[in-house]
């Protein structure tokens, strides 16, 4: 018996025909980030700039009877202020659930909800003057749990007046096949309830926005957003201004993870105050405010029942899910669908049913955190699958192989799956972790656990219905040889700008250094939907390829005429232009651009990408969860559980992820490591918790603990390339999928280590000790220890 | 009332007038225009504001500017050797240790201090040295990798310098 895993082998060198794709290139903005030269929103300053702060509700639920700014506005240094009445148009990222105001209009719905905003000559003055705002509240009864929300749905208890009924934010129930019949006919069924705790994104950069008044009544908003386009739309709506008078610019963003993927109060406030004062206005959240802005992982209670035949083949899966949404909708409509729709691969479900209800509660609003809506059900189901394997006497990896759905197929809920490298993922982590030699054979307290998952590479439909492209890229080249790429895509650290440069350099055959990327500026760049739902590589990459293909034709034609060779024989690659007809002939891209510019005039092109629309079911809701391609992941976690203290020490996570093709393996590994880290953090230590009054348990990084360098396990990331037929060079997503299996792999490893099933997150020492006590009481043996 | 603050910042004498409650981070970012150091929490929890004060990693957001009057301060902007990056800056870039880059200035300062003192620092040494710098993007994997590679380069540099 070996107690250690084999060392990671050197990656195999794969020769490709690419000059840029698949290479470990640096990020185009990397040098700025390591020298302190990268400019984030709070690094910007403008002449005569004011600083704003927001007054927040001390009550979890209250009617606002009156707000008086008189004393605050008289405070020396205070220049202007605004309240909900100044922006009475509701907004919301999903057009069907616009249920928030920039500042509370007639009520507040959680501790920290925005009430009023002041702009002053400096930040400290603005903060001091908040205390002079007089607000009269009528305190209302609070609803803090799913049970409360469902039990009390009369008017004073109604958290969100936009709800159609009581405190129900959204209900979705979908059935695919005769699941009850299938479960009744199964050899083995198991039912179990799981509780997934809420957690928040914690980007190290707090949200920041600056409103700047420009000529002709234009307002520019600089914001640390990951969705400049949607922000642009909602600013126009709430400020009641034509969209062409608003410009949104996204400077460098210090992390998002979904926490900056919708508009927030600060962006509306700085725009309004800039318009009202004629001066630039900056607002930087305190760390405490970031916890209130939230939009993080939804707490969910999930009851699953699943059946298998004796050979381990799944027969049916049925779930009932309750989702704690907090005070507003955010992306909640989508979350509710995702909680059911995204579970149907990589395993084949012959029958399936889910029934999900999202409720409103008097807490900060939940939303899309990395792996939106599907991390919680994935945890529950992968644990259940482990239990089923145990019951039918199968190896947990074998039961996963047995139920593999395959590639180029449809799921039970009619999602079209194209490439699928899940089996290879499983084999890689099985081998790397020494699974066969070590699973169920490690000493008591030590264990291994496996889990798998799938995730979308963007959504087939944008957030608001329209027939326009989901991504667009514009390219301009000129006689200098420089290639400028314009795109609305949003780099939040994942490498979106670099992706654009890599794809254009490869496709146009120029050197990476010749590329300039202009991104995320609504005045300059064609619309892209933004950095969410793991859509950027797939959609932006394809749009860029489309743009280059159009641009390349006149260049090839001009060179061909110059050399008197056929146009199709002219190639551009690796910073050179040549022809297959004559190996002696060669010129630089700049020379080729001069020829083309002379012949055709100024050179430029636009390209775009839109999703295929026939890849999902026609039932109501069938479009939600549909993606042009899905990524697949497998994890194996190794844990060491101290049965005296209940501490779970996650030693290592081996993960393999099918990203289609790694446009840049270093960046893909970075996304994989970071995803596995975030899943580990949710499994072991993080919880967005509240006191019975609705007060946040500790809105600081001292109280809300995220892993330090001392806490993290080792992450060993292995890339699997299934080369998707529709992805750019075969690429799919890498930023969110690899998070999902972390949590269930750790839970399953804890079971291997000490024989208890952890069903409630996070797996704190108290919960582990409680589970151990219950097991001792039940007298079940595990690895010879009672 | 404002008082004059004098510092040697990245080797250059600098001065400005600050209120007694001005933090070193505010003075650097807003008075001296050195926006490389970041504010992530403003209460000493995240480490994004880490700078060197007389060579020691220090949290600039909980250090009053006037309390370090007259001392030498090194920020991320001062780590490079003229136009050349310090090895740890270069390896952070090369090995993908900076994703969003917001923790990077503080992380680099802590890594620089650790590696300059001990280029042979192991992963365990680095874990300790970087434990006050929170990163939310990388899981620290590529940060350790970059630091180890930088340590190797520093050792090679010193061996070459020693041989001369």
Q: Contact A577/A559 with Cβ under 8 angstroms? A: yes
Q: Which of B42, B102, B108 sits opposite A254 (nearest CB)?
A: B102
Is A37 within 8 Å of B36 when comparing Cβ atoms?
yes
Return residue ranges of chain A for CATH 3.30.365.10: 30-38+468-609, 433-448+628-786
Q: Is the pLDDT of residue A228 over 80?
A: yes
pLDDT value of position A11: 56
Residue A775's pLDDT is what?
87
Kindly state whether A717 is in contact with chain B, defined as any CB-CB distance less than 8 angstroms: yes
Residue A364 CA to residue A690 CA, distance in Å, equals 10
Instruction: Give chain A positions within 8 Å (CB) of B144.
Output: 709
Q: Do A709 and B140 touch (CB under 8 A)?
A: yes
Query: Which of residues 486 through 515 in chain A touch B, CB cutoff 8 A?
Result: 492-495
| CA A649 from centroid of its chain's CA atoms | 27
Residue A160 and residue A109: Cα distance in Å, rounded? 7
Interface touch B38/A287, C-beta < 8 Å: no
- With CA atoms as reference, the chain B residue closest to A712 would be B139
Rounded distance, CA B52 to CA A260, Å? Answer: 31
A8 lies within 8 A of chain B by CB: no
Residues in B touching A39 (Cβ below 8 Å): 35
In the block, tokens 């136009």 appear at: B83
- Which class in CATH covers the domain with range A433-448+628-786? alpha beta
Average pLDDT, chain A: 96
Which of A36, A494, A717 has its CB closest to that of B76?
A36
Q: Best interface-test mutation with B: which of A204, A251, A282, A735 has the largest number of B CBs within 10 A?
A: A204
User: Residue A2 above 80 pLDDT?
Assistant: no
Q: Has residue A420 got a pLDDT over 50?
A: yes
> Which of A26, A255, A710 is facing B93, going by the closest CB pair?
A26
Q: Mark out the alpha helices in A21-122 (DSSP H runs).
A: 30-35, 70-74
**Nearest to residue A286, comparing CAs of A257, A266, A261?**
A266
Residues 6+ apart with CB under 8 A from A221: A209, A210, A211, A212, A231, A235, A246, A247, A248, A249, A267, A270, A271
Q: Which residues of A touch B45 (CB under 8 A)?
A: 287, 700-702
**What's the ipTM?**
0.98
pLDDT, tens digit, for every residue of A693-712? Answer: 999 999 999 999 999 999 99
CB nearest to B141's CB, from A254, A673, A706: A673
Q: Which residues contact A10 (CB under 8 A, 6 or more apart)?
A: none
Angle A195-A702-A768 from CA coordinates, rounded to 5°: 35
Q: Which residues of A touch B101 (CB under 8 A)?
A: 29, 32-34, 38, 252, 254, 493
Identify the bridge partners of residue A354 per DSSP, sorted by sequence position.
A174, A319
Over residues B88-145, the pLDDT tens digits come to 999 999 999 999 999 999 999 999 999 999 999 999 999 999 999 999 999 999 999 9
User: A441: burial class by Cβ within 10 Å (0-12, 13-18, 19+)?
Assistant: middle
pLDDT digits (tens, 9 = 90+) for A532-579: 999 999 999 999 999 999 999 999 999 999 999 999 999 999 999 999
Give me the sheet containing A471-477, strands edge to edge.
Answer: A515-519, A483-487, A471-477, A603-609
Question: Among the CATH numbers 3.30.365.10, 3.40.50.2000, 3.40.640.10, 3.30.70.260, which is that of A30-38+468-609?
Answer: 3.30.365.10
B39 to A670: CB separation less than 8 angstroms, yes or no:
no
Looking at residue A786, what is its pLDDT? 39
Contacts of B29 in chain A (CB under 8 A): 43
Sign of torsion over alpha carbons A704, B61, A49, A250: negative
Predicted confidence at residue A613, as pLDDT, reads 86
A285 touches chain B (CB under 8 A): no
The partner residues of A452 in beta bridges, in order of sequence, read: A634
**Option in B34, B136, B144 nearest A706 (CB):** B136
A61, containing H or E segment:
none
A1 has a pLDDT exceeding 70: no
State what percent of residues in chain A have pLDDT above 70: 97
> Residue A688 and residue A696: Cα distance in Å, rounded?
8
CA gyration radius, chain A: 27
Residue A768 has pLDDT above 60, yes or no: yes
User: Using an 8 Å Cβ cutoff, are A378 and A741 in contact?
Assistant: yes
Strands in A520-663 per DSSP E: 570-573, 576-579, 586-587, 603-609, 630-641, 648-658
A714 within 8 A of A383, measured Cβ to Cβ: no
Q: How far is it, in rounded angstroms, from Cα A687 to Cα A681? A: 9
Assigned token pair, A108: 């507040």
What's the gap in Å between the CA of A704 and the closest CA on chain B? 10
Per residue in A450-506, pLDDT (tens digit) is: 999 999 999 999 999 999 999 999 999 999 999 999 999 999 999 999 999 999 999
Condensed to tens digits (0 to 9), the pLDDT of residues A87-109 reads 999 999 999 999 999 999 999 99
| CA-based torsion, A507, A518, B100, B10: positive or negative | positive
Contact A287, A700 (CB under 8 A): yes
Compute how many other C-beta atoms are within 10 angstroms of the C-beta atom of residue A89: 14
Q: Tell me A663's DSSP state.
A: S
Q: Do B77 and A709 lie within an 8 Å CB cutoff?
A: no
What confidence score (pLDDT) does residue A153 get?
81
Phi-psi sector, A474: left (phi>0), alpha (psi -120 to 50), beta: beta
CA distance to partner chain B, nearest, from residue A714 (Å): 7
Q: Got the DSSP string for B83-124?
A: TBPPHHHHHHHHTT--SS-SSHHHHHHHHHHHHHH-TT--HH
Q: Quote the CA–CA distance of B68 and B47 in Å, as a whole number.
A: 18
* pLDDT bucket at A776, cuts 50 / 70 / 90: confident
What is the DSSP-derived secondary structure letter of residue A130? Answer: G
Nearest residue on chain A to B91, alpha-carbon basis: A34
Contact between chains at B101 and A42 (C-beta distance less than 8 A): no
Q: Closest CB to B89: pick one of A34, A202, A710.
A: A34
Q: What is the pLDDT of residues A636-686, one digit of tens each?
A: 999 999 999 999 999 999 999 999 999 999 999 999 999 999 999 999 999
Q: Which of B100, B112, B135, B146 to mutate to test the interface with A (most CBs of A within 10 A)?
A: B100
In the DSSP assignment, the letter for residue A122 is: S
Chain B residues in contact with A708 (beta carbon < 8 A): 131-132, 134
Chain-chain contact of A255 with B45 (C-beta, under 8 angstroms):
no
Nearest to B139 among A201, A205, A676 (CB): A676
Do residues A447 and A639 lie in contact, with contact meaning Cβ atoms separated by under 8 Å? Answer: yes
Query: What digits encode the pLDDT tens for the residues A330-381?
Result: 999 999 999 999 999 999 999 999 999 999 999 999 999 999 999 999 999 9
Q: What is the pLDDT of residue A549?
A: 97
CA–CA dist A626, A341 (Å, integer): 9
Distance (Å) of CA A645 to CA A132, A641, A763, A767, A779: 49, 9, 12, 11, 20
Per-residue pLDDT at A780: 54
Question: Would you state the pLDDT for residue A783?
Answer: 58
Statement: the pTM of the whole predicted model exceeds 0.90: yes
Residue A396: closest CA among A103, A665, A749, A662: A749
Contact A39 B35 (CB under 8 A): yes
Task: Write out the H or E segment, with its range, that includes residue A544.
Answer: helix A536-563
Asked if A27 lies within 8 A of B93 by C-beta distance, the reply is yes
Tell me which residues of chain A, numbers 56 to 85, contact chain B at a CB-CB cutoff of 8 Å: none
Round the CA-based radius of gyration of chain B to a whole number and report it: 16
8 Å CB contact of B99 and A700: no
Q: Are A700 and B41 within 8 A, CB to CB?
A: yes
Quick one: pLDDT at residue A614? Answer: 82
Residue A718 predicted with pLDDT over 70: yes
A171-199 pLDDT, tens digit per residue, is 999 999 999 999 999 999 999 999 999 99
| Cα A320 from Cα A331, distance rounded (Å) | 20
Written as six digits, the tokens of A78 are 């205070």
**Chain A stretch 145-204, residues whose beta carbon is closer than 8 A to a beta carbon of chain B:** 201-204
Q: Which residues of A touch B73 (CB under 8 A)?
A: none
A-B contacts (CB, under 8 Å): 171
Residue A610 CB burial class (10 angstroms; 0-12, 13-18, ≥19): middle
Say yes or no for a CB contact (<8 Å) between B103 and A204.
Answer: yes
What pLDDT score does A615 carry? 87
CA distance A419 to chain B (A): 27
């Amino acid at each position: 018996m070996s107690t250690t895993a084999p060392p990671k082998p050197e990656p195999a060198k794969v020769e490709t025909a690419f000059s840029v794709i698949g290479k470990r290139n640096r990020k185009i903005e990397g040098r700025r980030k390591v020298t302190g030269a990268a400019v984030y929103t709070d690094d910007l300053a403008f002449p005569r700039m004011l600083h704003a702060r927001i007054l927040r509700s001390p009550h979890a639920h209250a009617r606002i009877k009156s707000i008086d700014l008189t004393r605050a506005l008289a405070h020396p240094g205070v220049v202007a202020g605004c309240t909900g009445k100044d922006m009475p148009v509701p907004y919301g990222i999903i057009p069907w659930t616009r249920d928030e105001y920039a500042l509370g209009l007639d009520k507040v719905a959680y501790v920290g909800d925005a009430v009023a905003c002041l702009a002053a000559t400096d930040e400290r003055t603005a903060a001091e003057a908040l205390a002079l705002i007089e607000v009269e509240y009528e305190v209302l009864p609070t609803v803090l749990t799913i049970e409360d929300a469902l039990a009390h749905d009369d008017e004073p208890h109604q958290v969100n007046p936009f709800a159609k009924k009581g405190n129900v934010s959204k209900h979705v129930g979908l059935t695919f096949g005769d699941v009850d019949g299938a479960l009744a006919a199964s050899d083995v069924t198991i039912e179990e309830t799981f509780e997934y705790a809420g957690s928040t994104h914690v980007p190290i950069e707090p949200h920041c926005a600056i409103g700047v008044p420009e000529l002709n009544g234009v307002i520019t908003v600089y914001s640390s957003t990951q969705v400049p386009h949607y922000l642009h739309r909602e600013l126009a709506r709430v400020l009641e201004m034509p969209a062409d008078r608003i410009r949104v610019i996204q400077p460098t963003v210090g992390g998002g993870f979904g926490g900056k993927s919708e508009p927030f109060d600060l962006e509306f406030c700085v725009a309004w105050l800039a318009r009202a004062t004629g001066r630039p206005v900056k607002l930087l959240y305190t760390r405490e405010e970031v916890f209130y802005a939230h939009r993080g992982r939804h707490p969910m209670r999930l009851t699953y029942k699943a059946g298998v035949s004796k050979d381990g083949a799944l027969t049916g899966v049925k779930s009932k899910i309750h989702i704690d949404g907090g005070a507003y909708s955010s992306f909640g409509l989508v979350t509710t669908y995702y909680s059911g729709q995204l579970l149907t691969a990589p395993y084949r479900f012959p029958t399936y049913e889910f029934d999900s209800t999202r409720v409103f509660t008097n807490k900060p609003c939940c939303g899309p955190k990395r792996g939106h809506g599907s991390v919680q059900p994935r945890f529950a189901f992968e644990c259940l699958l482990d239990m089923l394997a145990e019951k039918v006497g199968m190896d947990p990896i074998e039961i996963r192989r047995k139920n593999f759905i395959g590639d180029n197929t449809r799921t039970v809920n009619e999602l079209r799956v194209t490439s699928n490298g899940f089996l290879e993922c499983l084999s890689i982590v099985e081998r790397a972790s020494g699974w066969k030699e070590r699973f169920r054979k490690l000493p008591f307290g030590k264990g291994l656990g496996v889990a798998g998952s799938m995730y979308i590479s963007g959504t087939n439909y944008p957030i608001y219905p329209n027939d326009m492209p989901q991504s667009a890229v514009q390219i301009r080249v000129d006689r200098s040889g420089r290639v400028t790429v314009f795109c609305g895509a949003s780099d939040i650290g994942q490498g979106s700008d670099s992706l654009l440069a890599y794809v254009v350099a490869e496709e146009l055959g120029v050197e990476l250094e010749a590329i300039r990327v202009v991104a995320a500026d609504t005045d300059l760049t064609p619309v892209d939907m933004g950095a969410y739902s793991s859509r950027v590589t797939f959609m932006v990459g394809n749009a860029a390829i489309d743009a280059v293909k159009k641009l390349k034709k006149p260049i090839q034609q001009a060179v061909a005429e110059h050399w008197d060779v056929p146009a199709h024989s002219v190639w551009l690659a690796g910073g050179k232009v040549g022809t297959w007809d004559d190996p002696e002939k060669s010129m630089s891209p700049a020379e080729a651009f001069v020829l083309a510019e002379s012949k055709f005039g100024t050179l430029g092109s636009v390209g775009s990408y839109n999703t295929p629309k026939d890849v999902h079911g026609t039932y109501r809701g069938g479009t939600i969860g549909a993606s042009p391609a899905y990524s697949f992941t497998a994890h194996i976690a190794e844990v060491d559980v101290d049965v005296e203290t209940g501490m779970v020490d996650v030693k290592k996570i081996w993960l393999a992820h099918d990203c289609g093709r790694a446009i840049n393996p270093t960046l893909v590994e970075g996304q994989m490591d970071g995803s596995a880290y975030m899943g580990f953090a949710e499994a072991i230590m993080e919880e967005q918790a509240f006191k019975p009054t609705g007060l946040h348990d500790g809105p600081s990084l001292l109280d809300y603990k995220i892993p330090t360098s001392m806490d993290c396990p080792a992450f060993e990331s292995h890339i699997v390339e299934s080369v998707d037929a529709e992805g750019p060079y075969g690429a799919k997503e890498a930023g969110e999928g690899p998070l999902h299996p972390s949590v269930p792999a750790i839970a399953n490893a804890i079971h291997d280590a000490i024989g208890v099933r952890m069903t409630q997150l996070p797996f704190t020492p108290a919960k582990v000790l409680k589970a151990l006590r219950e097991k001792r009481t039940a007298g079940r043996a595990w690895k010879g220890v009672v | 009332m404002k008082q004059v603050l004098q510092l040697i910042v990245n080797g250059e004498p600098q001065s400005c007038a600050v209120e007694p409650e001005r933090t070193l981070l505010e003075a650097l970012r807003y008075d001296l225009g050195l926006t490389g150091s970041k504010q992530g929490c403003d209460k000493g929890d995240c480490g994004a504001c880490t700078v060197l004060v007389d060579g020691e990693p220090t949290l600039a957001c909980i250090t009053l500017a006037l309390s370090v009057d007259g001392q030498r301060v090194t920020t991320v902007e001062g780590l490079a050797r003229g136009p050349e990056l310090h090895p740890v800056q270069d390896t952070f870039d090369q090995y993908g240790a900076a994703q969003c880059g917001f923790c990077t200035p503080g992380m680099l300062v802590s890594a620089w201090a650790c590696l300059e003192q001990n280029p042979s620092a192991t992963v365990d040494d680095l874990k300790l040295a970087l434990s006050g710098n929170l990163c939310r993007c990388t899981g620290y994997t590529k940060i350790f990798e970059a630091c180890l590679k930088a340590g190797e380069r520093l050792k090679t540099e010193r061996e070459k310098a020693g041989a001369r």
